[in-house]
């Protein structure tokens, strides 16, 4: 599944003037921007296919910035969040960072800092998206395996030779070889080592 939408910076701030200014700045530097006056508005329009990052004010009436981050983290699409705040608050910033905030900046924010943070966030999002896409693909491939093939895969990962696997599973070696080939083809792996890596990546757990 691919997405052709460009990565977007989602701005969330209850101060209209701030929202306009940030939007202008990001737009003139070539970013796609969407603005929201409250976290509630944003969450209502947030889609799993959204790409990009969020720049949010920390203190907002109703759902605060931290709540927003928490909600995003629990959604299927955890976009990176950059916090802006006019009110320096150390415990909150530590809390925010521990929860995985991308960055924490104070208003008035310097152009370079903001753009650098946005760039990092977008990169991380792209990377995460790619990883998720790949994982999804992998999972799909693993679904194609038959139960017997899964058993064989487990043995291969354990480093067993065909002969040993045949003995262990009470099957002919020839059959085992055929299974191995099928597995390699389905999973599009080049070597047993790669098989092992892929299995680990997808979190394959043996049925035994």
Partner 1 sequence: MSWVTIIWSMIASVSFTLATIYLLIWFRERRSWAYLCFFVLAAGVIGMSAGEFGAMYAKSPAEYGAAIRWGHFAYGFIAVGSLGFVHFYFGTGKVWLLGAALGLRLLAVVMNFSTGLNLHIRAIQSLQSVNFLGEPVSMLGAWTPNPWVRLGQFAALVQFVYVVDASLRLWRTGARESRRRALMVGGTLGFFILFASAQAGLVAAGVLRMPIIVSFPFLAVLLAMSCELSRDALRASQLGRELRESEARMSLAANAAGLHHWQWDIVRDELWATDKGRMRSSPAQPEPKGFNQFLQSLHPDDREPVSHAVGKSMNGDGEYESEYRVLRPDGSIRWMVSRGRVEFNGAGRPVLMRGVSLDITLRKQAEQEIAQQRNEVAHLARVTTLGEISGSLAHELNQPLGAILANTDAAELHLQSQTPNLDEVRAILADIRKDDLRAGEIIHGIRAFLRRRELEKQPLEVAQLVEEAVRLIGADAVSRKTSVGLEIPPGLPRVTGDRIHLQQVVLNLLVNGMDAVSTCPVANRRITIRAARPDPHTVEIAVSDAGVGIPPGDLHRVFDPFHTTKQGGLGLGLAICRSIVEAHGGSISVQNNPDRGATARFSLPVAGTSGEGQVADGGSEQ
Residues 6+ apart with CB under 8 A from 56: 11, 12, 13, 39, 65, 68, 69, 81, 82, 83, 84
Binding region for partner 1 (CB under 8 A) out of 10-18, 36-44, 172-180, 200-208: 10-18
Which residues are bridge partners to 10 per DSSP? 34, 54
- Residues touching partner 1: how many (CB under 8 A)? 28
Q: Which of 75, 77, 107, 186 binds partner 1 (CB under 8 A)?
A: 107
Q: Which residues contact 146 (CB under 8 A, 6 or more apart)?
A: none
| Member of 22, 33, 157, 195 binding partner 1 (CB under 8 A) | 22
Query: In the complex with partner 1, which residue's Cβ is closer, 66 or 199?
Result: 66
Give least dist CB 24 to partner 1, A. Answer: 4
Q: Is 66 in the site for partner 1 (CB under 8 A)?
A: no
- Cα 149 to Cα 103: distance, rounded to the nearest angstrom: 45
Helix (H, G, I), strand (E, B) or coil at 83: strand
Decide if residue 87 touches partner 1 (CB under 8 A).
yes
Distance CA 63, CA 55 (A): 15
Which two tokens mark 71? 């909600």
**Residue 171 binds partner 1 (CB under 8 A):** no
- Confirm if 68 and 47 have CB atoms less than 8 A apart: no
Of 55 and 176, which CB lies nearer to partner 1 in the complex structure? 55
Least distance (Å) between residue 116 CB and partner 1: 13
Nearer CB in complex with partner 1: 16/123:
16
| The binder of partner 1 chosen from 61, 76, 91, 147 (CB under 8 A) | 61
Q: Please count the other Cβ atoms lying within 10 Å of the Cβ belonging to residue 12.
A: 25
Contact of 3 with 47, CB cutoff 8 Å: no
Based on the shown chain and the rule CB under 8 A, indicate whether residue 197 belongs to the binding site for partner 1.
no
Residue 69 in the binding site for partner 1 (CB under 8 A)? no
Q: Residues interacting with partner 1, by CB under 8 A?
A: 15, 17-18, 20-22, 24-25, 27-29, 59-61, 64, 84-89, 106-111, 114
């Amino acid at each position: 599944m691919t997405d052709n939408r460009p990565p977007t910076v989602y701005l969330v701030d209850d101060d209209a003037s701030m929202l306009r200014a940030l939007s202008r700045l990001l737009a003139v530097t070539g970013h796609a921007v969407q603005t929201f006056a409250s976290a509630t508005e944003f969450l209502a329009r947030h889609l799993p296919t959204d790409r990009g990052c969020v720049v949010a004010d920390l203190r907002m009436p109703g759902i605060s910035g931290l709540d927003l981050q928490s909600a995003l983290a629990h959604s299927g699409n955890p976009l990176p969040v950059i916090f802006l705040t006019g009110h320096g608050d150390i415990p909150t910033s530590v809390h925010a960072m521990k929860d995985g905030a991308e960055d924490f900046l104070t208003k008035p924010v310097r152009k370079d800092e903001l753009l650098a943070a946005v760039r990092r966030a977008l990169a991380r999002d792209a990377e995460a998206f790619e990883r998720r896409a790949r994982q999804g693909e992998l999972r799909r491939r693993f679904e194609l395996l038959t139960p017997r093939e899964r058993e064989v895969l487990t043995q291969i990962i354990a480093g067993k030779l065909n002969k040993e696997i045949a003995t262990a599973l009470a099957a002919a070696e020839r059959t085992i070889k055929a299974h191995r080939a099928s597995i390699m083809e389905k999973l599009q792996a080049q070597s047993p080592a790669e098989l092992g890596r892929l299995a680990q990546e997808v979190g394959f757990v043996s049925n035994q």
